[in-house]
Amino acid sequence: MSWAQTFPALGEDTLRSLRQGIDGTFREFTREHGETLERLFDPLREFLLASERLLTTSPWPLVVLGLAALIWLATRSWRIVAGALAALLLVGAFGMWDDLMKTLSMIFVSTVVALVAGIPVGVLMSRSDRVQRWVNPLLDVMQTLPSFVYLIPVVMLLGIGRVPGLIAVVIYAIPPIIRFTNLGIRLVSRDLLEAADAFGSSGWQKLRQVQLPLALPTIMAGVNQTIMMALSMVVIASMIGVQGLGQPVLRAITNQYFAMGLFNGLAIVAIAVLFDRVSQAYGRRLQKHQGVNHG
């Protein structure tokens, strides 16, 4: 029964040849198309740098007031605004303001890119069962693959820096917005769609004027999850040059600086709670608004 105790794996030579073949193919692709891909992502780099410059060079009182105004417009809750102000001022008081602004710019840009890329995919899935059957397994893989694995092909293609980190964050964070967009549109009542058909609405008009507005609360839940996943990737992406609150945490791990890791970790938690409360409050407002409209 000794054969049953050792799994009959492929031979070491076979496995080595397989790994070398995959690595060699990928390296060849990188040598041939790496510069082209870098130029392709230049607009993304400029967008990220502009966002970062705006937050880091603006006077901090102006940034705080601007963020407070945006939070108020989204939530209409003075309690959430007060909590956000307290969190921002506390993080700044501990000397982490610049890192906080860089993290916020990374989260903002990665979320925008994820929404621009993910919502059309979700819409397409909602309109085709065949597309849904093909995309769902891919999303399952993306959500279960260890986050460190995303860094390997990105670094091999684009090297180390902000843009590779941004791409890794987007890939890691995009599945929720795709899934929730698909779900929200599919949950729209058939009666409303039939009523839109009765008024002679085209497919684009139904999507823009009926399906997307009614699916917006569900889509906002996807936005919430996308932001949370992007923020959770900040520390991991710091390994390939993404600046922000993640890099001090990485230094604290490598040098055993407990206080530095604790303070920056708590800052990340504070920002995560802030984003979560704001996006949830905005989603609840949308649900109430939709309820009033239907009523």
pLDDT tens digits for range 171-181: 888 999 999 99
- CA-closest candidate to residue 48, choices 98, 100, 113: 113
Residue 41 in domain:
no
Give residue 11's pLDDT.
65
| CATH code assigned at 104 | 1.10.3720.10
Helix (H, G, I), strand (E, B) or coil at 41: coil
Residue 1 in domain:
no
> What pLDDT digit, counting tens, does each position of 58-87 carry?
898 999 999 999 989 888 888 889 988 998
CA distance 240 to 205: 44
The tally of domains found in the chain comes to 1
pTM, two decimals, is: 0.84
Between the alpha carbon of residue 276 and those of residues 48, 176, 223, 227, the distances in Å are 22, 14, 10, 8
Tell me the Cα Rg of the chain.
23
Q: What average pLDDT score do residues 253-273 get?
A: 83
Residue by residue, DSSP assigns 196-244 as HHHTT--HHHHIIIIIHHHHHHHHHHHHHHHHHHHHHTHHHHGGGT--S
Between the alpha carbon of residue 76 and those of residues 61, 72, 80, 168, 291, the distances in Å are 21, 5, 8, 34, 18
Give residue 115's pLDDT.
93
Range of the domain at 237: 47-59+95-294
Instruction: Give residue 71's identity as a one-letter amino acid code.
Output: I
Give residue 293's pLDDT.
53
Identify the residue with better confidence: 205 or 116: 116
CA distance 105 to 53: 9
Give residue 6's pLDDT.
63
> What pLDDT digit, counting tens, does each position of 213-246 carry?
888 888 888 988 998 888 888 777 887 777 888 8
Residue 215 in domain:
yes
Residue 88 in domain:
no
Between the alpha carbon of residue 245 and those of residues 28, 91, 193, 197, the distances in Å are 35, 10, 46, 51
CA distance 60 to 58: 6
Residue positions counted in the chain: 295
Residue 263 in domain:
yes
Site of tokens 């903002």: 108
Q: What average pLDDT score do residues 45-65 get?
A: 90
Residue 90 in domain:
no
When pLDDT is cut at 50, 70 and 90, the band that residue 3 belongs to is low
* Tokens at 86, concatenated: 């307290």
CA distance 3 to 20: 29
When pLDDT is cut at 50, 70 and 90, the band that residue 113 belongs to is very high
Instruction: Give residue 52's identity as a one-letter amino acid code.
Output: E
